[in-house]
Chain A
């Protein structure tokens, strides 16, 4: 079994990795100017305490309630529609970002694409990956700025921002799930004469679906927090109201809005957990 033999790992390697990691930590600590005395020292804490005291009691007047509730509903809607849009953006792109659907693996063993066709397919894959990377590397908040500029203030740019960024994230994750499905059933479907589309629908997607749902629900939980922040750049929801409350020193109303965020994040986490238990 000379070919399958694995060499015993050297002793120096773990030590080197350890030293390297410690050096990286030290450098990062220095680079981020961590200042523990400044954080826990008297002055900083006193300022925070003063502000927190000013937040109480929350403003529970009818007007403040109505404002917080409207904001909460808007934020919920942004996160929900934004996450659905993300699935619609990510799913088709993930098919392009899956090598085993385009040019390699069991579906291409019996008849390999010719050099020209293969080049086109590799290029499609690279393009799919590149678009997903672009969507993903631009943060939601930057997408929100761009879309506020394009379509104006309000919840709509928030929806677009979540859809684009999360679409990039989900597309990458979906693509990894698709490449990871068990190829044995695909081989059996192919042997019946099924087309690649039929193999995708009968063999690949049913295997991938539980993980798709799980990832989408998790990103929805992330998006409800992101949707709450989106308003800082004018893209609607609770964030917009929080931004106004901070600017106008309306501390009691700010407290009401913070409570609303807490309530809605908890609600979405619970809903997501419920759906996951039922669907996955």
Chain B
């Protein structure tokens, strides 16, 4: 699906967000990315969904080097990659139905897109997607009147309507209630599993990552520190990953003591007593 060779991203202000990342992700794989804040995970995802362009290195999607794509080719490729953001990135003033149907924008003509704002095109499809994420009654609500968790579900419904081959979820649960976090991660995992989509997820919570993903990539200072199965991720590795980041080290302490509220939903973590 993805092949990254020596990807590097330097922003205009000189900040190096991604130092050097090489990675291969196969079709249908589920991969969780963990690491301290500022490690470059979000930038990596913005490179993967073709919103940003790498400063150096090759990004290959389905055998195609994306730097060689034309404007139209870039748009066509983006329709195959669905993104769920940490902040929901919805248009608050539009009704939920339009935010969900925005998943079609990559395929609709300009005229269809415009007409749908007046008379929504596939109301049934939007309704089905909302039913899948558990809020069918919110179809006609104004988006900014929904709670954070409901908005995150709308964002997932938009990706369902888009029906991509890959789902990128960038910290989809760090802005929602902890009790919702598990259900949203499980929802995304199951949905991707049923439709054989590739799922890449950035997670702040080590607990959720180790509990739900068969492959864990640790990112630190713009590089891949480890890329292993969850049972190989022990306390030493995590301590190295989060070294010098106070808040996350605290999270590890709590994991050790089994204090994290949603930890109960996961199997016991290797190296930690519950």
Contact = CB atoms under 8 A, between A and B. Distances in A.
A198 B51 contact: no
A193 B107 contact: yes
A30 interface: no
Interface in B182-231: none
Contacts of B108: 198
A110 B51 CA distance: 5
Given A192-B79, A193-B78, A194-B105, A110 B93 contact: no
Interface in A154-194: 184-185, 187-194
Interface string B76-102: 111101110101011101100010001
Contacts of B94: 202, 206
Interface in B26-70: 46, 49-53, 69
A110 B50 contact: yes
A contacts with B: majority SS: helix
Residue in B71, B75, B105, B117 with the greatest tally of chain A CB atoms within 10 Å: B105
Given A192-B103, A193-B75, A109 B52 contact: yes
B75 A202 contact: no
B105 A191 contact: no
A44 B98 CA distance: 65
Contacts of A197: 110, 113
B91 A109 contact: no
Interface of B: 46, 49-53, 69, 71, 74-79, 81-83, 85, 87, 89-91, 93-94, 98, 102-103, 105-108, 110, 113-114, 117, 155, 158, 162
Interface of A: 106, 109-112, 184-185, 187-195, 197-199, 201-203, 206-207, 209-210
Nearest 9 Cβ contacts at the A-B interface = A193-B106, A194-B105, A193-B79, A188-B89, A193-B78, A191-B83, A198-B105, A184-B89, A198-B113
